[in-house]
Amino acid sequence: MRDSTGAGNSLVHKRSPLRRNQKTPTSLTKLSLQDGHKAKKPACKFEEGQDVLARWSDGLFYLGTIKKINILKQSCFIIFEDSSKSWVLWKDIQTGATGSGEMVCTICQEEYSEAPNEMVICDKCGQGYHQLCHTPHIDSSVIDSDEKWLCRQCVFATTTKRGGALKKGPNAKALQVMKQTLPYSVADLEWDAGHKTNVQQCYCYCGGP
């Protein structure tokens, strides 16, 4: 669906207060030098005081406010509506629309929507993704179709159940397609000197969300 369509049921929920907050991610050792140069610091497009949707350990997104930003670890310290607090990686934070009301891509945070890289809106969570930013890339046939389209996060959230993932239905088929592509680039991971931990905290090779 194009970004002009309305979103379906949202994955944004209000949570009951947690008994304890998640621990701050453990610190990483200094990154090893690559080709004699230090790794470049990633650009941060978040701001302190900004309201965002942050992904919790259950795979769902919740409303929260950014209080601190750690550029080195690519994460934000967020306080949620129920007063719980947690460090959340940038890749698990969504900003939604800009101050002008325009939808931005969840991945690159840009507003433009032009072929062959148009903005596509998830019919489940209402977040926008450029065709070439989403993993896997979104086929142009989705834009011209009246069928509902779910982003990678929502496909996993709606199909993975206790005891195993759903085996039938359109979302089950979409899950198999999603799992054929890793949600990150292995070459872009920034490892510590011992190659035990990386800044992005990506260690799964099963094609999960």
Cis status, amide bond into 116, omega within 30 of 0: yes
Q: 67: pLDDT confidence band, cut at 50, 70 and 90?
A: very high
The predicted structure's pLDDT at residue 157: 76
The predicted structure's pLDDT at residue 78: 96
Average confidence score pLDDT of the chain? 74
Residue pLDDT, tens place only, 73-129: 889 999 999 999 999 988 788 776 555 567 888 888 888 899 999 999 988 888 889
Q: Which domain holds residue 75?
A: 36-95
Of 84, 94, 7, 104, nearest to 55 by C-alpha is 94
Is residue 133 in a domain? no
Is residue 5 in a domain? no
Residue 171 has pLDDT above 80, yes or no: no
Who contacts 189 (Cβ-Cβ below 8 Å, separation ≥6)?
198, 199, 200, 202
Whether the Cβ atoms of residue 53 and residue 151 lie closer than 8 Å to each other: no
The predicted structure's pLDDT at residue 129: 92
The predicted structure's pLDDT at residue 178: 72
Residue 27 has pLDDT above 50, yes or no: no
Is residue 51 in a domain? yes
Is residue 49 in a domain? yes
Neighbours of 26 (CB within 10 A): 8
- What are 86's two structure tokens? 């947690």
Q: 154: pLDDT confidence band, cut at 50, 70 and 90?
A: confident
Is residue 72 in a domain? yes
Residue pLDDT, tens place only, 128-142: 899 999 988 999 999
Is residue 190 in a domain? no
The predicted structure's pLDDT at residue 17: 40
The predicted structure's pLDDT at residue 65: 95
The predicted structure's pLDDT at residue 46: 87
Task: Report the percent of the chain where pLDDT is more than 90.
Answer: 21
Cα 206 versus chain centre, distance: 17
Q: How many domains does the chain have?
A: 1
CATH of the domain at 69: 2.30.30.140
Place of tokens 């939604």: 96
Is residue 177 in a domain? no
Residue 54 has pLDDT above 70, yes or no: yes
Residue 170 has pLDDT above 60, yes or no: yes
Q: 58: pLDDT confidence band, cut at 50, 70 and 90?
A: confident
